[in-house]
Structure 1
Amino acid sequence: MDPRLEEACHTGNLGMLHSLLREDKLLLHSLSSITASSDHNPLHIAASLGYTDLANELIIRNPHLASELNPRGFSALHLASANGHLETVKLLISKVGSHLCFLKDKDGRLPIHTVAMKGRIDILEELINVCPESTRVFTYQNESILHIAIQSNSFETLEFLVKKLES
């Protein structure tokens, strides 16, 4: 990845992104899936850091970036969810689609599993509302979302899930 593009994503610098795209209109389309110099594509970085405006611009220019997985199998939705960036989570789902909720990491965890591990109730609620069927998916180790909440020692998450899944 161009180091200037990587810097723009790490700093959330939308102006720098626009400048780079004026220089090379195909910049976001000429990236290999994951370049040797980085484990993340530009959207992974922006989503992970919660730069929603930058993530929006990247999605507009190349929505395919949202479906790419990093070497650990994390998508932009996994990363935004795990880091507590609700607005970026909403953006990814609304602009790209709820199918992102079913992208699995190397352990077979969906973004909703990652959120349950982290105890991020607001994002958990959003993912359940948008994609309720994701709560029934098991990981490759046959763990349910409830198993993950218990393993993470998050009573609050477990309590929320039991109430939400009852209704």
Structure 2
Amino acid sequence: MVEPAGLRTGIGVDVHPIEAGRPCRLALLDWPDVPGCAGHSDADVAAHAACNALLSAAGLGDLGQVFGTADPQWAGASGAELLAEVVRRVAAAGWTVANVAVQVIGNSPRIGPRRVAAEAAMSAVVGAPVSLAAATTDGLGFLGNDEGRAAVASCLLLRA
């Protein structure tokens, strides 16, 4: 198989149920007064979707395979820790991250007021531009009923 000009794209998805009383961590930021999500780690769907996109593009599996819930080392890990480890593995596999785009889906938190800070935090860990966008489902389904939060991400890798 030949990669055109040493390029690879990846797509990643992550979904977590909302858990009342748990702190909200999203796009590597804390969101006070917003319910967080249940998960083995910090349940940061933006960071986790970005991890899945990067792992996919590099042919390294997925988040569950790399940081499975059976591995206590990653219990409670932050999205920043997971993302940094994924970027390290992607580089070790001979790839450089060109960019990552993340779309968060859910009713909360409101991304707009903190978009620049979230993009800066994620870009600093990834070492490449990360763009962040948000959408709701107009009240449809578990995301629209505030039962969960999701994110979809894509990335472009360049052969190092």
Name the TM tier (shorter chain).
under 0.3
TM-score by structure 1 length?
0.23
Larger Rg: 1
TM norm structure 2:
0.23
- Greater relative CO (CA pairs within 8 A, separation 6+): 2
Q: Give 1 or 2: higher helix fraction.
A: 1
* Structure having the larger proportion of residues in strand: 2
